[in-house]
C-alpha cells in the first residue's frame, strides 16, 4: 500500500521584532518502501551508508548488491549527522558511466553536527566536472554515500523513500 511522504522544513527566527521564519512542505506520492537506519561510523574509517544500483538482485559471477537501493525507484534521501559536536565528511560517489561498475568521480561536503543532507532521486541527480568551474548540466547517477567521521566515531541516520 503506497503512501505520501511529507517532508517539512521549518526555520524559526525573530530578529529586531521581525519574523524571518519559513516553512516548506514537500509531498512525494506513491511511496511504498522506506529504508531507515542508524549507522555507526567508526573513527578514522570510511563507511558506505547507502549504495544505489540499476539492478539490485544477485548477479552471477559478480558482486551481489542485495543491500543496494534501486536507483530508478528512490525519490528522497536524507543523511543526518547525529553527533552533537563533531562534523563528518559526506562523500557523494558518482557513477559517471551509469553502468553499476562503481564510482568514477566524487564530491564531498562537510556535514556539521546535527545537520542533514537531503536530495531527491539519485538517478540522473548529480554531476561534477573536475576541469572547469562552469555549470554542470549533464547529470548522472549517484553510486553511493560514504561517511568519513575523522578521529571521532559518529552515528548518522539514513532515511530513503522509494516507490
List all residues 6 or more positions away from 97 whose beta carbon is below 8 Å from its beta carbon: 104, 140
Is residue 26 one of the residues assigned to a domain? no
| Phi–psi pair at 115, nearest 5 degrees | -90, 160
**What domain range is 129 assigned to?**
31-162
| Phi–psi pair at 28, nearest 5 degrees | -120, 115
CB contact at 8 A, 153 and 39: no
Is residue 14 one of the residues assigned to a domain? no
Q: What are the b/e assignments for 14-42, b being 16+ CB within 10 Å?
A: eeeeeeeeeeeeeebeebeeeeeeebebe
pLDDT digit string, tens, across residues 112-127: 999 999 999 999 999 9
pLDDT digit string, tens, across residues 131-155: 777 788 899 999 999 999 999 999 9
pLDDT at 66: 47
| Phi–psi pair at 27, nearest 5 degrees | -115, 130
The position carrying cell 553502468 is 99
pLDDT at 129: 81
Q: Which of 5-14, 71-80, 96-105 has the least mean pLDDT?
A: 96-105
pLDDT at 61: 40
Q: Indicate if the pLDDT at residue 59 is higher than 50.
A: no
Is residue 93 one of the residues assigned to a domain? yes
Q: Report the CATH number that the domain containing residue 125 is assigned in CATH.
A: 2.60.120.10
Is residue 3 one of the residues assigned to a domain? no
Is residue 16 one of the residues assigned to a domain? no
Strand runs (DSSP E) across 2-87, as ranges?
3-11, 14-15, 18-19, 22-31, 33-41, 47-53, 69-70, 74-81
Is residue 80 one of the residues assigned to a domain? yes
Q: What's the structural domain count of the chain?
A: 1
Is residue 125 one of the residues assigned to a domain? yes
Q: Which of the four pLDDT bands, split at 50, 70 and 90, describes residue 57?
A: low
The position carrying cell 525573530 is 14
pTM of structure: 0.90
Is residue 21 one of the residues assigned to a domain? no
Amino acid at each position: 500500500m503506497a503512501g505520501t511522504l511529507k517532508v517539512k522544513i521549518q526555520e524559526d527566527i525573530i530578529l529586531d521584532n521581525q519574523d524571518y521564519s519559513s516553512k516548506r512542505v514537500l509531498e512525494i506520492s506513491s511511496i511504498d518502501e522506506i529504508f531507515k537506519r542508524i549507522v555507526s561510523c567508526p573513527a578514522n574509517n570510511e563507511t558506505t551508508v547507502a549504495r544505489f544500483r540499476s539492478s539490485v538482485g544477485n548477479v552471477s559471477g559478480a558482486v551481489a548488491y542485495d543491500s543496494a537501493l534501486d536507483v530508478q525507484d528512490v525519490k528522497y534521501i536524507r543523511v543526518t549527522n547525529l553527533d552533537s559536536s563533531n562534523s563528518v565528511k559526506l562523500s557523494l560517489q558518482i557513477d559517471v558511466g551509469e553502468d553499476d561498475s562503481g564510482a568514477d568521480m566524487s564530491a564531498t561536503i562537510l556535514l556539521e553536527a546535527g545537520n542533514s543532507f537531503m536530495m531527491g532521486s539519485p538517478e540522473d541527480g548529480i554531476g561534477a566536472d573536475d576541469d572547469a568551474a562552469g555549470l554542470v548540466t549533464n547529470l548522472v547517477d549517484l553510486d553511493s554515500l560514504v561517511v568519513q567521521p575523522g578521529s571521532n566515531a559518529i552515528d548518522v541516520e539514513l532515511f530513503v523513500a522509494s516507490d
